[in-house]
Chains A and B, each alone.
Chain A
């Protein structure tokens, strides 16, 4: 069941075109700016929902949870729990600096016609490609890579945990992701496999959608250097998302690759 939910999410991401993807994946930290390392903890909720940031569709699968500390080393999540609508875990911040908390997804999707002439869909990984029958016709394999992120900082922000890895679609902060204030512009860069991506549409939506009639999306577009800027209209938690289809696959059997990136960012009052 746990695995299934993850693949369901991946399948959703792969099948539904960008504009129509109603379900939003997110990680929401209890706080993002901390000042005391004796007992600095954040608790994080993860979910897939229609509304930001409410839990009303599916709990986030935490199988691929990766927490990176200020020194670049991984940090273990504590007290993991998966409920009906959301998953949660705690992070003990033992070191000053910025932490990246991410759930990554990576998978292969196939469509084919089997020996009986029936249309089939398959999802798996490079390791389970053998499940596709050898006599499959019209076989199309695509690859999907995505990540759902959030950031927290104890003391002074640093950038070790948020340095791009050079794999997939990544946000390279120009403005520190835990130094965001209402009325100010923040700058970020989007990279694909470490290279700036131009003309990428970035969607930013403030939380609390249940209590307003419109999504009030902020749309930004990256420039030639992959940069875009957002001026935060008000304090709050924001959901940032971008996705990109038709990229060159990195799995040899796949013909195309779909990338997605999501982050939850907290904007503080002045």
Chain B
């Protein structure tokens, strides 16, 4: 029983030690005749603009192959339209990226949660970063929204930003 308590205590402390990021991202409804779901990339950028972590890349909706391995990878043809992400990270990646890449999502609110004890946040060094969100829509527009933050947070933080046309309201909550 004592041993179990100790185990539980260790487990609980590891839970409280894990800092968290909660991202809520609005993809606006577009009043257009031809609508395609946007490609979206969410990543963490260092001060020198290199990529510290890829959090999400939504694009898989067509047949295709990965640029590096040549293996089947749906939808990569238009990935370069996520210009900054492609330049900073995408062109270096073997796709798909486990736990990061996925299918495009519809207009509406999308909630993402990341914890410092799991990939892709595990091992993120303490420092100043920018959360980057880039969205590019076929026959539509492209937009980037960024939110500067410090990791790990000393106290709970509620950050927010808003895009103008391809990205709606973004909230970014950091919990120590």
| A residues apposed to B, CB below 8 Å | 33-40, 96, 154-157, 179, 181, 268-270
Instruction: Indicate if the CB atoms of A270 and B84 lie closer than 8 Å.
Output: yes
Which A residues are CB-close (under 8 A) to B144? 270
B76 in complex: contacting residue of A35, A181, A268, CB < 8 Å: A35
1/0 per residue, CB under 8 A from A, across B117-154: the answer is: 00000000000000000000000001010000000000
Instruction: Indicate if the CB atoms of A156 and B91 lie closer than 8 Å.
Output: yes
The contact sample of 14 A-B pairs, CB cut-off 8 A, is A33-B83, A33-B86, A36-B65, A36-B67, A36-B77, A36-B79, A37-B70, A39-B64, A96-B68, A156-B68, A156-B92, A268-B83, A268-B87, A270-B84
Complex CA distance for A154 and B65, rounded to whole angstroms: 12
Known contacts A155-B91, A156-B91, A156-B92; is-contact A38 B83 (Cβ 8 Å): no
- Is residue B38 contacting chain A, with contact meaning CB distance below 8 A? no
Which B residues are CB-close (under 8 A) to A37? 65, 67, 70
- Is residue B112 contacting chain A, with contact meaning CB distance below 8 A? no
Tell me the nearest residue of chain B to A157, going by C-beta.
Answer: B91
Instruction: Indicate if the CB atoms of A269 and B83 lie closer than 8 Å.
Output: yes
Which B residues are CB-close (under 8 A) to A268? 83, 87
Complex CA distance for A100 and B126, rounded to whole angstroms: 42
Instruction: Indicate if the CB atoms of A39 and B77 lie closer than 8 Å.
Output: yes
Which B residues are CB-close (under 8 A) to A35? 67, 76-80, 86, 90-91
| B residues apposed to A, CB below 8 Å | 63-65, 67-68, 70, 76-80, 83-84, 86-87, 90-92, 142, 144
Question: Which of A36, A38, A156, A181 has the most chain B CB within a 10 Å cutoff?
Answer: A36
User: Interface on chain A toward B: helix, strand, loop, or mixed SS?
Assistant: loop
Distance in angstroms from B94 CB to nearest chain A CB is 10
Question: Which of A38, A179, A181 has the most chain B CB within a 10 Å cutoff?
Answer: A38
Which B residues are CB-close (under 8 A) to A156? 67-68, 91-92
Instruction: Indicate if the CB atoms of A96 and B67 lie closer than 8 Å.
Output: yes
Tell me the nearest residue of chain A to B62, going by C-beta.
Answer: A36
Tell me the nearest residue of chain B to A179, going by C-beta.
Answer: B87
- Sort A-B residue pairs by CB-CB distance and give the 10 closest, nearest first: A155-B67, A36-B77, A35-B80, A35-B79, A36-B76, A38-B65, A156-B91, A36-B64, A33-B80, A35-B76
Which B residues are CB-close (under 8 A) to A155? 67-68, 91
Which B residues are CB-close (under 8 A) to A270? 84, 144
Complex CA distance for A38 and B63, rounded to whole angstroms: 9
Which A residues are CB-close (under 8 A) to B77? 34-36, 38-40
Complex CA distance for A155 and B86, rounded to whole angstroms: 9
Tell me the nearest residue of chain A to B75, going by C-beta.
Answer: A36
Complex CA distance for A39 and B144, rounded to whole angstroms: 27
Which B residues are CB-close (under 8 A) to A33? 80, 83, 86-87
